Amino acid sequence: MNIVNTKTNYTYEILEKDIYNLKNKYDFLKVFILGKSVLGRNLYCIKIGKGPNKVFYNAAHHALEWITTPVLMKFIESFCYAYSNNKTIKKYNIKDIYNQSSIYIVPMVNPDGIDLVINGLKKDNPYYEDLIKWNKGNNDFSKNWSSNIRGVDLNHNYDASWHLSKKYESKYNIHGPGPTRYSGEYPESEPETKALANFCRKHNFELVLAYHSQGEVIYWNYMNLADERSKKIANILSKCSNYYLDQAQGISSVGGFKDWFIEKYRKPGYTIEVGKGKNPLPISQFDKIYSDNEELLILASLVTTKNYPL
């Protein structure tokens, strides 16, 4: 096992290496590219399972929250290892899940932003001068940059009360591209959000998870559109992770991926906020975060199957 590197700041280069090493070891793994980031990096998607129940997990909409990427990558590795060695995870039969469900995972939605946060601003970046301006003259992006490379907060760029997000911007003193909260010029203006939304439009997903940090909280509703079934599932996910349930307020409550999914499809969508502290969370929190979330990731692929009693 132990292909996925969980002891270091998790860059796009590490992600690519880990994906291809996993693919070489587990030939049943499906790897494809949803689209490209602003700077042309691949938006990788990994599929495990072959069942009719389709679910979609993603991580790292926000650059500072890169720790969520190895969480999903480690889950892929653990699942593949258990499947190929006929093992269980937390007493769940992985072969049964593989046959019942298809789990689609985009582990890094914002590779350009993550590169900026972890590796710093390079002189050859086409947005070099803009980025320094957007960052108020500061060329250190390691502690405050959540946006993509064009200064758009990807989790405010979906068409879910997007106009309200724009209204909130002035209230939060946001007047254009910057480290966080800027919603873009129009919904899905960024290639990263457009790729994810298009992917959902092409698949009939029963449930989505969007991984963020921090707070150890699960956001499960949007504009009171989530139904009783969605709340039951939220309670199941809360119980197995010990994360509490909440509803976002203010600018955080609009324009997000799970908001868009709930509004468009009226199906269960959840934002999972892992860990505790100030972003970016240190990699030293990884083991606890993964332990808290492994069963949640398994259950999210089961709760919408026909056989699961809700």
Q: How far apart are CA 118 and CA 108, in angstroms?
A: 14
Whether residue 30 contacts residue 43, with contact meaning beta carbons closer than 8 Å, is answered with: no
For helices 68-84 and 12-25, what crossing angle results, to 10°?
10
The residue among 127, 108, 106 whose CA lies nearest residue 62 is 108
Whether residue 123 contacts residue 132, with contact meaning beta carbons closer than 8 Å, is answered with: no
Alpha helix (H) ranges present in the chain? Answer: 12-25, 68-84, 94-100, 111-119, 128-134, 162-171, 191-202, 228-241, 257-265, 286-300
Distance (Å) of CA 260 to CA 27, 165, 227, 307? 34, 13, 15, 28
**Catalytic residue from among 169, 190, 206, 273:** 273
Whether residue 153 contacts residue 162, with contact meaning beta carbons closer than 8 Å, is answered with: no
CA–centroid distance for 121 within its chain? 23
For helices 12-25 and 111-119, what crossing angle results, to 10°?
120
Residues paired with 211 in a beta bridge: 59, 272
Q: How far apart are CA 119 and CA 113, in angstroms?
A: 10
Catalytic-residue membership of 192: no
The residue among 165, 146, 154, 145 whose CA lies nearest residue 190 is 154
- The residues carrying an active-site annotation are 273
